[in-house]
Amino acid sequence: MPPKTTSYDPDAESSDPETPRSLLLKPLHLVTPWCLQCFCTSLRNWDYGLPFEPDCWSDTVVSKLCSRCSSTHGKRDSIYRGIRGHVFELMALLEFVKQYWVNNHDGFGKPDIADFVWLEPFIRSIPTAVHDLCLAFDNLAEAHGKAHLLIGTNGAKAAYSAWCNAREHAIYPHRLIPENLHQKYALYATEHLRLRLGEETQIHWAAALYAFHDTVEETIRNHYTNQSDEDGTDTDLLNVLIDFQEGFPLQLLEL
């Protein structure tokens, strides 16, 4: 006879195919608290004609599992508490580059009756930077989990919780919230735990942020240079690059 459960485990309950799931009237899109499985799956299936965003949904009030993990009977790997700030850094940049997929109907992507505001050759070069940034975050999360043995025993998880608690004293909420969503995400990043420079693989994540910034900036530079050569217009490239620098949501660390 299997041992009796001493506490209610919603994941164990919901993983039983015979157990009815209490469904939400409307599925909830987990915009920032997505799981790593959905993040990686979304990246593999990403259609470059649209901005990238993790496709993670919850359709039940009972289980901690998202819809995808529940349907595949998987284990939901939430983002580790110690790197939640880096999630918001990533989301700030993903939100920031959405502007390059805007079409002339104020939507994203290319419908049949709308054209991109930016030229398609330019748009096709941006996904490479986005893809590399997402891979860098996946590597960061994997390395962080291994460094703290978070796939191991409960003792390791308790030690990790204490490690996180000891670092939260330096985090303070901000009173002024910016209007732009990418700036909000950048602000939220400072209100959650992040690795410090020199810890674990933080240096690689910082380098990935630099690479993303430089790739997008160079793509913009080439776009306006080529456009000027083709149609003879004299675009003020300097002002365009200044706007890019001022709008870039993250403050990059000096490496």
What digits encode the pLDDT tens for the residues 205-233?
999 999 999 999 998 888 777 766 555 55
Model pLDDT, residue 23: 65
Cβ-contact 98, 107 below 8 angstroms: no
Burial track 176-194 (b if 16+ CB lie within 10 A, e otherwise): eeeeeebbbbbbbbeebbb
Model pLDDT, residue 18: 42
Instruction: Identify the segments of the chain with pLDDT beneath 50.
Output: 1-19
Which residue ranges make up each domain of the chain?
28-247
H or E element at residue 121: helix 120-147
Phi-psi region of 75 (alpha: psi -120 to 50; beta: other; left: phi over 0): beta
Cβ-contact 38, 67 below 8 angstroms: no
What letter represents residue 182's amino acid? Answer: H
Chain mean position to CA 188: 13
User: For the chain, what is the radius of gyration of the CA atoms?
Assistant: 21
Cβ-contact 27, 70 below 8 angstroms: no
Model pLDDT, residue 76: 56
Model pLDDT, residue 6: 31
What letter represents residue 110's amino acid? Answer: K
What digits encode the pLDDT tens for the residues 113-146?
556 667 666 777 889 999 999 999 999 999 999 8
Model pLDDT, residue 225: 79
